[in-house]
Structure 1
Amino acid sequence: MDTDSLCFGTCAKCTRGVYDADQACRAMGQVYHDSCFTCCACGQKLKGKPFYDFSGRVFCEEDYLYSSVKHFAEVCTFCGYLITDMVLQALGKSFHPDCFRCVICNETLEGRQFSVDTQNKIYCLKDYHRFLAQTCAICEQLILPNKGSNEIVRVMSMGKSYHVACYEGKSNI
Structure 2
Amino acid sequence: AGVSGPAGGGRGGEHGPQVPLSQPPEDELDRLTKKLVHDMNHPPSGEYFGQCGGCGEDVVGDGAGVVALDRVFHVGCFVCSTCRAQLRGQHFYAVERRAYCEGCYVSRSVAQTGVQWHDLCSLQPQPTLVQAILIPQPPEQLGLQATLEKCATCSQPILDRILRAMGKAYHPGCFTCVVCHRGLDGIPFTVDATSQIHCIEDFHRKFAPRCSVCG
TM-score normalised according to structure 1 size: 0.48
Q: TM-score, normalised by structure 2?
A: 0.40
| Bigger Rg, structure 1 or 2 | 1
Q: Which of the pair has the greater relative contact order for Cα pairs under 8 Å at 6+ separation?
A: 2
